[in-house]
Amino acid sequence: MTTQRTKLPGVGTQYDIETRAGRHISVVAHQDGRRFLGFYEPDDPDACQATVPLDADEASSLAELLASADTPRVRASEMDLDLVTERVPVTARSPYRGRPLGETRARTRTGAYIVAVLRRTGPHPSPGPEFRLEAGDAVVAVGTREGVDELARIIAGT
């Protein structure tokens, strides 16, 4: 197998790979993290059969699959856990506006976890029970569909 690297000014780097079987594959690594895979005709190494665009996460997952001799680790978002992550708005009508997060008793009542609160001034990861909610906040919740829906009703006061 041979690999050739070519700088692409203003774009990134192209890596051309010729497999032991004589197939030509290229990877164009853009500076912004995107990747493009190119597959070439066996009889004509300059004729591209197809290209596959990949974002940075997709490229990382593919690299992990190709590099690993063992079964690759599966990200939580790919597991069959039936969990959702959702932003729940805190409106001016919320009964919890101006009150500590702990008063919602979210986890006890719904099984959903509040993993962050997004505020105009910035995110607040892992807020404690004393964290006070404000109108305009968005609560980031993780749980079952039913649990997150119930949390949204609690925050909304419905």
pLDDT band at residue 46 under the 50/70/90 scheme: low
- Cβ(134)–Cβ(98) below 8 Å: yes
Strand residues in 11-102 grouped as ranges (E): 12-18, 24-30, 35-40, 48-54, 84-89
Between the alpha carbon of residue 67 and those of residues 16, 35, 52, 70, 151, the distances in Å are 17, 17, 19, 9, 41
Which of the two residues, 36 and 74, has the higher pLDDT score?
36
**Average model confidence (pLDDT) across the chain:** 83
Q: State the fold for domain 84-156.
A: Alpha-Beta Plaits (3.30.70)
What would the mean pLDDT of 92-114 be, rounded to a whole number?
Answer: 93
- Cβ(55)–Cβ(33) below 8 Å: yes
Which of the two residues, 73 and 129, has the higher pLDDT score?
129
Is the pLDDT at 73 greater than 90, yes or no? no
pTM tops 0.85, yes or no:
no
How many CA atoms does the CB half-sphere of 81 hold within 13 Å?
Answer: 12
pLDDT band at residue 134 under the 50/70/90 scheme: very high
Between the alpha carbon of residue 148 and those of residues 77, 106, 122, 142, 155, the distances in Å are 16, 9, 23, 7, 10
pLDDT band at residue 64 under the 50/70/90 scheme: confident
pLDDT recorded at residue 70: 60
Tokens of 63: 């690299």
